[in-house]
Structure 1
Amino acid sequence: MRAIWPDDEVETLTDADLVAANERYCRMQRMLAADQARFAAEIARRSRPELGPESLAKTQGFRNPTALIAATSGGSTGDAARLVKVGEAIAPRQLLSGERAPARHPHVAEAMARATITERAAAAIVALLDRVAFRAGLEAIEVAEKTLVEQAPGLSMDQLARVLVRAEAWLDPDGVAIREDEKRGAEQLTMREVDGMFEFAGRLTPEHGAPLKVAIEAMVSAEMRATRDAARDGTADPDVPRRSVVQMQADALVRLCEHALGCDRTDLPLQGATVVVRIDHENLVNDTGFATIDGITAPISVATARRMAAAGEIISCVLDGNGQILDWGRTRRLFSRNQRLALLERDGGCAMCGAPPGQVKVHHIRWWARDAGPTDLANGICLCESCHHRIHDNGWEIRIDGIGVRAKVWFLPPPHVDPARTPRLGGRARYDYAA
């Protein structure tokens, strides 16, 4: 069987036609995956254990339905099990009375029928809802299911995973501290010397990992800016090999340790690198809910937030019910950083691509030079270097709806990307659970 689109024809497509063709094929894949999930669930139903040797899987020579599906699809048994789970969640149910009832997860079923979410996204959403169903209650689960299937289209699986982590904290806030205790017991750092090199491997909780992540990202960003400036100015040394990001991260860790051993040094580029712990005032007062750390997906308990806020160079941000900032914890140089910190509350990092706070700068929405844009909060936005150039060079526009940290950031694509110029949600609202 030959490809529907021969290579020589694919290469002649215009940019717009290529993007449109890719979108059509992705939609077709989602439609096929929905059907495949239903087939998988039916195969599992006809292969249930009580049927014994008469089960469908065993009559076909397989020990269970996932083995049959995996052998047919060429995937893993894990992929097959995921298909079965999704199929069972979206298929109409058969009651003991013989009547048919709606699917266990009707919003997921509808989204898959419309081909707006992938089978993998559906599986992740279903797994979360099933995990917290008992503690959250039926009403909260239904609202969460509807919210998540509306939020999932347009997100990669990595981005959706971030939303699901926050959603779990909203649905099961009491479980945040429990999961923290489990993670704290799993913290580790191993060091060994192999072939003249040192190998490090470890796992840290958000509380302990956040300062390290922020510091390393700040140092790597500073080195990347210096490398870029040297290349632009023609002062780069051609005999010095360029370091990769992972090599720069290793360099940053070494420099942090060197700094700790001789703390009179002040040459580390960490100015402005701050760990921000965010919590609603009601949760802080009542010891309920959870807090978040900028640049870290996993939520933390209120007790951990209080402990971190008491540490040096950790800033706590307390928000009222409308998302307005009630209080900033204090640290050195706070006055010179307050605008950046306030905008990071709204944007969460790069407002366009979601890069962490250590990799962004605050830029003018109305350009400083061209538009005489003011340097104030209403005209600021957090962007990484790449997205900043994309905005400036490719004709994107930015719109801010509302004020304060609850304001929403929208990016309007240029006509050559989307003739309708449909606004695309950005900032923290794109990746946080929209409770």
Structure 2
Amino acid sequence: MAISALPLPTPDDLVSEAAAGLHTLSRHDWAGEPDVVLVSMMESLQGIRATQRALEAQLLAEIDARGLAKERLGWGSTADWYTHLAGVRRGQGKQTVDHATELVSNRPATLESLVSGTVSPEQADVVLNAVDRLPGDDRLRDTVERELLDEATRITATELARQGRDVIEAVDPDRTARTVEAQLAREDRVAHQRRFLTVTDDGAGGITVKGRGSVEDGTILRAALLPLTAPVPQVDPETCQELPDPRDFGVRMWDALVRLAQHALDTDLPPESHGARPRVTVTMSLEALRGELFERGRTDDGFDVSPEVARRMACDAEVVPMVLGTHGEVLDVGRTRRLVTAALGRALVERDRHCAFPGCTRPPVMGHAHHILPWADGGTTCLSNLVLLCGHHHRTIHQTPWEVRIADDGRPEFRPPTRLGLERGWLRHRPRRE
């Protein structure tokens, strides 16, 4: 009699079984368990956290390599999709995806340490960040990685971060690797490939600027900024004596950067965007601008500003008339024509704030005005036939079964493609788990 083999469990089956086991344990009454069991359980859970991170890295790296988030799910990037799915901060989501690719492609030792549970996810992040700051010498990077992984078995992530610099100096005391690396042209190529600039809200009424670029980029920036950083003597209003500039060099560099950007805006140097030359735009009520009530304004790139700041910015600004309805909806901003006018572009930004595609928050400066019913098919250029989309999601709407419409309340909403034979309704916000 033939005996048929049972089908092997799939990876999804194994994960579901593990999740079910943890769910059952979460309902367990731990009050009656002995001390040794409680401590042992906590130790085991830390190993599970590390192993879970390793598995997540492998999955993320494969999803990113296949382009699933962009090509199949309609997201702007794997980082955008993962940030939404995991419910984490945007910067944290991007770092997780970047680290996943690095773990799978270049740092197998760190990945294996996660699998075995000998390092925590936080310690693995410290190792990856430390290695990323090194030159591209593979042997040097591997040595530092091994040193830090060994240290991680004895200390916390905080202490590991502090010792990272000491380990780097220990494996390269004469800085010979850095000296040789600096002579190679590939250092500039690597720096250029890793260039970036971010301007984010710091949550305390200000902004944080972070960036990195090549030496050539730095030379250009310094050449433009340094002439504007000369100290400006102050005059004591009582004695009329000249006083030294109270600003330190860092403050003068910041002021120079802002002054340079303002000069570019004042002289119409940047390219046009949304049918008009770039301007710093703040949206708020006329009553708040006049000081009759306290209400924060919002810039077109998403920052909140106080009424005082908005009034100061409005001292030298163009006033664009915009008629709003009782619910703040834009009713009229100018006449309609085939191309989106500057006024209509402002109204579109005012309504949608950023890319309107569910889950995307790319700012208006990266957006396109999309005709829901194409002009060639009889569609008009009016707010009820337009939606603000970033470049990626503009292509998504044109090239995939995703649909968009303007709902009865004047806001855009989207319908995903049919999935697994199931019809999916119209939505504005994507569920974290689809």
Answer whether TM exceeds 0.5 for this pair: no
The TM-score with structure 2 as length reference comes to 0.41
The TM-score with structure 1 as length reference comes to 0.41
Task: Using CA pairs under 8 Å that are at least 6 residues apart, name the structure with larger relative contact order, 1 or 2.
Answer: 1
Larger Rg: 2
